[in-house]
Structure 1
Amino acid sequence: MPEADATPEPSPIPDERDLLLAWLAYLRGSILRKLEDLSEEQARWTPDDALISVLGVVNHLTHVEWRWLDGTMLGAETSRSEAEFHPGPELTVAEACARYRARAAETARVVGALAVTEPCRDGSGRDLRWVLLHLIEETARHAGHADATRELLDGTTGI
């Protein structure tokens, strides 16, 4: 069973915002590595339709960041669709990776312009710190899904 070298986790960073963004980037990288060398068919594969495909994970997380940053933090109107878990044939691996990277850059831009104590505009009492921790949790959860799917697909672990 193939095993790739793991990317080292982020070093300690004194600035809280930078540390949270570093952990989010670390987890995003893990997920992208699970997807980037798969064929279009492999990227959509699920074991007995039981888990989210790796392509579905990347597409979902791209939308999650958009909803939380643009929607909850900045007040833009957003929506959720089951299609983000099951993208159609028009979404390619290359496009999904490009969209996730672009969203990551936009997330970093938005987060860089706000204090971690900036309240969400949805009246929930949450702040940017809470949102970043939630994005880390959500990304880590789905990294586990991607790990399981990839291992069941071709035996690859540790990337």
Structure 2
Amino acid sequence: MPELPELPEPAPTTDERDLLLAWLDHLRTSIVRKVADLDEQQSRWTPDGALIPLLGIVNHLTCVEWRWMDGMMLGLATSRSEAEFRPGPELFVADAVAAYRERARATEELVRRLPLDRRTTDGSGRDLRWVLLHLIEETARHAGHADATRELLDGTVG
């Protein structure tokens, strides 16, 4: 079975913001590693049409961060579409990864600018700290999903 190189976990820190961002980045890197060396057809593969293709995972997580950061934290208009899970032929792996990295940069910039106790704009009482933990949870969930899909695709683990 092919194996991806080890991905060391983030270094310990007492700074809460740095710790949350480091774990989110660690998980993002795990996701990107699963799709970066695939061709376009492989990136869209699913076992018997089940699960979300790896390209869909990258695209979905990009959209999730956009909705939470720009939408819920800044109050900007966002949208949701089932198409984010199964992107059309116009989205290529390199473009999806570039968009994910750009979204990560924008998220980090916003997180470094706002206080962790800044409330979301929906009146739910959630704050930026909660949003970051949710993004970590969502990314971790899909990282496990990406692990399984990649192993079923070509046997790659790690």
Global fold match (TM > 0.5): yes
Q: Deviations over 1:37-87 (max 9, x none)?
A: 000000000001111000000000000000000001110111110000000
Q: Equivalent residue for 1:42?
A: 42
Q: Equivalent residue for 1:24?
A: 24
Q: Deviations over 1:92-146 (max 9, x none)?
A: 0000000000000000011010111111111010000000000000000000111
Trace 1:147-158 onto structure 2 (pairs within 5 A). Answer: 147-158=147-158
Q: Which runs of 5+ in 2 are unaligned?
A: none
Trace 1:6-155 onto structure 2 (pairs within 5 A). Answer: 6-155=6-155
Q: Which runs of 5+ in 1 are unaligned?
A: none
1:120 and 1:89 mapped to 2: Cα distance? 35
1:13 and 1:121 mapped to 2: Cα distance? 30
Q: Which secondary structure does the structure 2 equivalent of 1:140 belong to?
A: helix
2:46 and 2:13 mapped to 1: Cα distance? 37
Using the TM superposition, give the Cα deviation of residue 5 of structure 1 relative to its aligned residue in structure 2, in angstroms. Answer: 2.2
Q: Which amino acid aligns with 1:48?
A: D
- Equivalenced residues, count: 158
1:2 aligns with 2:2: yes
What is the RMSD of the two structures over their aligned residues, measured on CA atoms?
Answer: 0.5
Q: Which amino acid aligns with 2:109?
A: R
- Give the TM-score, by structure 1 length: 0.98
Q: Which secondary structure does the structure 2 equivalent of 1:17 belong to?
A: helix
Q: Identity of counterpart residues, as a percentage?
A: 71
Runs of 4+ residues over 2 Å off in structure 1: none
- Give the TM-score, by structure 2 length: 0.99
